[in-house]
Each structure stands twice: as C-alpha cells, then as structure tokens.
Amino acid sequence: MAHKKGASSSRNGRDSNAQRLGVKRFGGQVVNAGEILIRQRGTKFHPGENVGRGKDDTLFALAAGSVQFGVKRGRKTVNIVPGAQIGADQRA
C-alpha cells in the first residue's frame, strides 16, 4: 500500500497571508504626524529626523512635513522635513 496520496492530497493547500511590508509613503510626499512611512522586518531603513521606530521596526512620522530619503554613515535613513520649510519649496 502507498504511504502517500496522489497530487491532490488533502494534506496540501495551505498558505500564509501576505505581511504587506514595504514603503508606504515615498520621497516628496507630505505626511501628518503618526502616519506609517515604512513597514519592515529588521532595520533596512533607519529613522532620521522627526521619524520614530515601533517595536516591530515600523517607521512612522513624529511631525507633519515632507518625506525625504537619504544615506548617513552607510545606512539608508528616512527624514521628515517640517511643514514650515515645505511651503518655500513648493512655491519655487
């Protein structure tokens, strides 16, 4: 007798849900305080100015402003440029 069933065995057919990770707000976008910027596992991106890090490494805005990506000491960082400086940039 066979120990394994054929191709359509009832033991197959399971899958886990997607984790929906990734960048949620891109460079130049205007955000409010508390908005999630990046969902990640580990610190692929590090928090910069006006950006906080949650216990699951999620990066979020601590202040309203414009999202800016950069590199500092070889690490990718995310910064928020506060709203007062945004108005001057948008008028130019």
Domain at 50, CATH number: 2.40.50.100
Specify the pLDDT at position 91.
46
Do the domain assignments include residue 5?
no
Q: Which domain holds residue 26?
A: 22-91
Q: What is the pLDDT of residues 9-61, one digit of tens each?
A: 678 889 999 999 999 999 999 999 999 999 999 999 999 999 999 999 999 99
Do the domain assignments include residue 87?
yes
Indicate the number of domains in the chain. 1
pTM of the model: 0.78
CB-based contacts of 61, cutoff 8 Å, min separation 6: 25, 31, 32, 33, 34, 35, 37, 50, 51, 52, 67, 80
Q: C-alpha angle 24/43/57, rounded to 5°?
A: 65
